[in-house]
A and B are shown apart, each in its own frame.
Chain A
Amino acid sequence: MDMSQYLDIFLEESEENIQRLNEDLLELEKDPENHDIVNSIFRAAHTLKGMAGSMGFERIADLTHKMENILDKIRNGELRVNSNIVTTLFKCVDKLEEMIDNIRNEGIEDADVDDIIEELKKIENSDSYEDNKKSQLVFELNEYDKDLIIKAKEKNYNVYKVKVTIYKDSVLKSARAFLVYKTLEEMGEIIKTVPSTEDLEQENFDNQFYVIVITQKNKEEIKGKVEGISEIEGVEVEALQENVHEESNQIKEEKEEIKLEKQIEKEEDKSTKKVHQSVRVDLERLDKFMNLVGELVIHRTRLEQISKDFKSQELHETLEQVGRITTDLQDLVMKVRMLPIEKVFNRFPRMVRDLAKELGKEVELIIKGEDTELDRTVIDEIGEPLVHLLRNAIDHGIETPEERIKQGKSAKGTVKLIAYQEGNKAVIKVEDDGKGIDINKIKKKAEQLGINTEGMTEHDIKNLIFLQGFSTSEKVTDISGRGVGMDVVKTKITSLGGSIEVISELGKGTAFIIRLPLTLSIIQALLVKVAEETFAISLGFIDRVIKIKLNEVKVSNNKEVIIYRDSVIPIVRLAQRLNLPEIDSDEKFVVIVKVGEKTVGLLVDSLLGQQEIVIKPIGKLLQNQKEYVGATILGDGLVTLILDVAALI
């Protein structure tokens, strides 16, 4: 039987399952006891196995089979999830991904799976119980505990950490632990045990455990009582000296905020994850469709122009109908091309996890607004710059846990990836609560590069990092710091018609804010005249348009500016900039445009009005004309260039 006809669907579904495996494994790492997740992973692996087997991809089938074995043992409680198992499973998923990629590109799975299968076998045959038990005995207090301790101390209670060691050969250790628990509980309030009470109850501990107790009794009384229980090898009672006073409140608030956010996210999850009925459409057809609608818009505009000359009521009414329908059609095709940014965000949790592990940092990634929709061209292109920003945030932004604690922050850093729609723009924020940008370092670097930072605002100085060759990192790592990064990010985003800026506070963190147009093909534009030429400017950039007398243009710092409503706005003479003859007239118009936080006035001769235009690429020959993003055909058939505002200012 020829299976090649199923290859596409096989590849697509395999990818979906691999994505699910990645997501589930991340969850499992956070919540190792959750059997629902194990089951979900099992199902994904099982589906992959079945599909690969039918397609004759033996290695994938073999690898997923071995994964199943381990997952099965976990389900049956024969194995306990530990970081080693999760890491190995991640490796398997990587391997599967590699094989799927190879199948897509070369038609064969071709990858060496022997090593990984060996590793899986080792896990399968090992009893992970032992090292798991040991690894669990890490004593750590969370913010909630700390807060309780502080409150107890304020009320003059004693807070003791009681370390209890039971005879190694004791049986019914859980009951023994419970006896200790009960004894301590009679003397005060227990706020925490390590391992957790559930683990104690299920005998998931070696022969030692900790109990934190808030009590009015003294050390000796506590020790004496616990020692009064049989089969106890030793009891150590230690007063807790947590210096948690200053940091605790602030951090607690943050934590609560995060918790709240998570909750909201979860709720959102529930509501948005409806089952959609869908049809898969070839992208090429969609592009063609888009193009045709574009043509239709052009001709509609042209028809409207012609109808003005005829002054026929009937024609006018019909055209209005056509106009409405084209607008709807346009909206629809735009929406069809839109994809939720989820597609891009999905791969980040895994990346962040790996990166954090590699760098020995603790990072929590919070993703919000993944259902924000963007044109698929943008979706395809935005991944790379975001990867770069995230890497930067983790490598340069987030400090090591030790350093963070020293700074009074929580050991775990937070990186937020937030997307939302703002007007006709989509905004993506990459925020970290790391060390922030040191403005002095940037100034120094700027000097080296011969940039005069005098008179620049702090904000402007920070935004110098987007210049080429600008890296202030002292050491180049694998991950970032080569100085080719930020300008590439900026170039990419500008080429998508978007803008990027940075806000940062030393010691508190950094936020990159990216603004992107929702769609790239049809825009509202203002048509302006410079000399004899007509140009289009996207309304998305325009703040307002004002009429001025030429003598209102002043010179400050060798730059031409106007003063408008108490703010100084630099002026760009478009005629000069585009090598056109300057028309001698007293009155001119200033189109005030905003790119990010930057505001500039474009000096033009006259205004022609606002219109919907379809962006057409200007072709290879003129591609290096940086001033233009494309061209459009107006209603009267005139070809007009569209100005790239971001490149002009």
Chain B
Amino acid sequence: MPKRQDIHKVMVIGSGPIVIGQAAEFDYAGAQACRALREEGCFVILVNSNPATIMTDVEMADRVYIEPLTVEFLEKIIARERPDGLVPTLGGQTGLNLATALANAGILEKYNVELLGTPLSTIAKAEDRELFRGLMREIGEPVPESFIIGSDEELEELSRRDGLPWPLIVRPAYTLGGSGGGIAANPAELMEIGGRGIRLSPVSQVMVERCLVGWKEVEYEVMRDANDTCITICNMENLDPMGVHTGDSMVVAPSQTLSDKEYQMLRTASLKIIRSLGIEGGCNVQLALDPKSFGYYIIEVNPRVSRSSALASKATGYPIARVAAKIAVGLHLDEIENKVTGKTLACFEPALDYCVVKIPRWPFDKFTTADRRITTQMKATGEVMALDRSFESALMKAVRSLEIGAISLRYKGASLWSDMQIETLLKTPTDERLFVIAEAFRRGMMVEEIAPLCHFDRWFLVKIRNLVEMESALSECGAGIVTDAGKDVLEAAKRMGYPDRTIADLTGKTEHEIRTYRKGIGLIPVYKIVDTCAAEFEAQTPYFYSCYDSESER
């Protein structure tokens, strides 16, 4: 079906100021959507209160309003502009909540504004825990045991109940980045965390449920159009297992430790969910997978473009917000061009031929007295992403991108940790966990000892160990690193993402000596293209990453 002819003026709501859990990714999504809507000939009216956004550039929309994101102000703009439609799913939770409020207040009806894309009833079904669980039970998708608590009295009653599956996880309803949540190991902790959650939730509601700590956390980014065609854009595996908010987790895309049977089982479940909800646009499904069986639970569904969508878009080259915006005005997936190839359509699933690592960036360098533990409440203020042909090198690039003074897994202060501190830090995740694991290997701990403490899959632990072992290999090599004898080690180190400076530090040479020798033997990086299709089709877009491989592309 081509673009709807009855939609001319479209309003887009931005996500307002940057806060934890809702940062620049929604500017990215909103800007992409504005461009996509204008491509389809729509007159775009944009509202946002945050001036430090690209979407509020006058070139991005036909009308830009920098106004408070409240129902009152939005009603005035609607009355003045009289848009035909409103896209609610591109401005994060703020945009979605406002669209819901405008609809509930009767304002959309009064001015004859249609909600485009995912219908309101769907949003309610995905966001309201009870409605969502009811739907999951209906379609046979498993959800963990869970209790909805709306008052301190109910909370007290629950805490006294027998046979609860302790520990329990507490998640407040409708809060950004799951703020106010936590894991309660006993009734006293449940009262404390639950009570705080009730006060933080805009609807004074928390969900208390079976805690799946130690299970793998996997996400799927899925899309659906009005013709019921569904595709997955990307799956992502969290290195940090369940218990750490995905926004605070290190993430790898695609999943690394799932066999095809597991990958497809979770993919099928995600598609079943987006279909049953009737979403028209993008959706993010979070699942927990038992590392020892095919058992899984559906954890959460975001019926909108989410924080993970930005990551998935850049990880795959697939513009999720752009396509979601086009779906909202009636286009089908097979009517939207894949701009990367220029030949194929947006209706396909990206194939990656590289590995993507995301590491969250926490602000603890600015807030030195803050609690550095990471839990179910998101604390990261940003994130970095890196692409490479191996996991080790992507991880090393991501570490350097963090700008925390670390250029490898060698971390300032790591040697000062006592062995007991290391054990505690492995058990209790903090922003330093990656470096703690590396230090544990440096001190001779085994994968089998570390895995039960931090619940990382051993595949990831071995990768971290590979990086630590390279430190000793380089030290052993010493000055020989710039001779024929050290060539293999140097090559392996570069492929693993070791920067010349670290190689110099470990071998006693200077960075300049390493670089000169390396260039002399032709050991230099090449650039490869992110093309959504693993080289099956020619790419038109100049989106590159570096790697130590043989062929460079331009």
Q: Are A and B physically bound partners?
A: no
Q: Could you tell me which B residues sit within 8 Å of A by CB distance? A: none
Q: Could you tell me which A residues sit within 8 Å of B by CB distance? A: none
